[in-house]
């Protein structure tokens, strides 16, 4: 089974999404799934990732080689983002498995959910922060001395967090776990 993850910007998100989804599929009984990140085209941001014509371009390029398409974007405090994702799913999900999810609030939140955080951090506060990348993720990267690691620390932290996929599902029920349950139903 071939899975294509479509991030809003693969340059850093690939280091989070590939290990998380590889481990997620393993945890739902699909260890032989091939998870790929869409590297062409570079969407470069959520605005481009939510354009139907860009999604259509990606699907056309990968149709026939992909069993499941998964669009992953940040919520960025936009409460209406889920509605747009539902529209996109409606456009592209009729003849293929196409799922879309927005991380609450940023994809880096999923990584933080799978890590042992500093003892003075409160998970509810972390989870509710719109700018979680700047307020929590980047300081943790610096604290661990990972700023020069691939993806600005995302590769080692993404791999570490992926080993605790159950914690991510439990701590991120509205987004990551909701997507995981839909993927379980699809496979």
Give residue-wise pLDDT tens across range 68-91: 999 999 999 999 999 999 999 999
Look up residue 24 and give its two tokens.
Answer: 């997620």
pLDDT-derived band at 93, boundaries 50, 70, 90: confident
Domains and CATH numbers, the chain: 2-186 (3.40.50)
Average pLDDT, the chain: 96
Going by C-alpha positions, the residue among 177, 8, 3, 181 that lies closest to residue 88 is 8
- According to the model, what pLDDT value does residue 95 have? 83
SS3 142: helix
Q: Is 2 exposed, middle or buried (0-12, 13-18, 19+ CB in 10 A)?
A: middle
Encode pLDDT of 137-164 as tens digits: 999 999 999 999 999 999 999 999 999 9
Q: What pLDDT score does 94 carry?
A: 81
Contact 28, 184 (CB under 8 A): yes
Sign of torsion, CA 56 61 63 67? negative
Provide the whole-model pTM: 0.95
State percent of the chain over pLDDT 70. 100
Average pLDDT (127-133) is 96
Average pLDDT over residues 53-60: 96
What radius of gyration, in Å, describes the C-alpha atoms of the chain? 16
Cross-strand pairs, 68: 3, 97
| Average pLDDT of span 9-26 | 97
pLDDT at position 42: 94
């Amino acid at each position: 089974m071939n899975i294509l993850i479509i991030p809003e910007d693969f340059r850093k998100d690939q280091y989070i999404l590939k290990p998380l989804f590889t481990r997620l599929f393993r945890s739902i009984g699909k260890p032989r799934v091939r998870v790929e990140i869409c590297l062409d085209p570079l969407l470069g941001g959520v605005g481009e990732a939510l354009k139907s014509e860009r999604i259509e371009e990606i699907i056309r390029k990968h149709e026939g080689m992909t069993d499941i398409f998964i669009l992953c974007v940040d919520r960025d405090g936009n409460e209406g983002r889920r509605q747009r994702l539902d529209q996109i799913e409606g456009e592209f999900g009729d003849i293929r498995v196409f799922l879309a999810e927005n991380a609450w609030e940023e994809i880096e939140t999923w990584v933080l959910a799978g890590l042992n955080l500093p003892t003075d951090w409160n998970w509810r506060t972390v989870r509710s922060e719109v700018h979680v990348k700047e307020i929590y993720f980047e300081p943790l990267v610096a604290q661990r001395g990972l700023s020069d690691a691939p993806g600005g620390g995302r590769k080692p932290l993404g791999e570490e967090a992926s080993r605790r996929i159950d914690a991510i599902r439990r701590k991120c029920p509205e987004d990551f776990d909701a997507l995981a349950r839909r993927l379980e139903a699809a496979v």
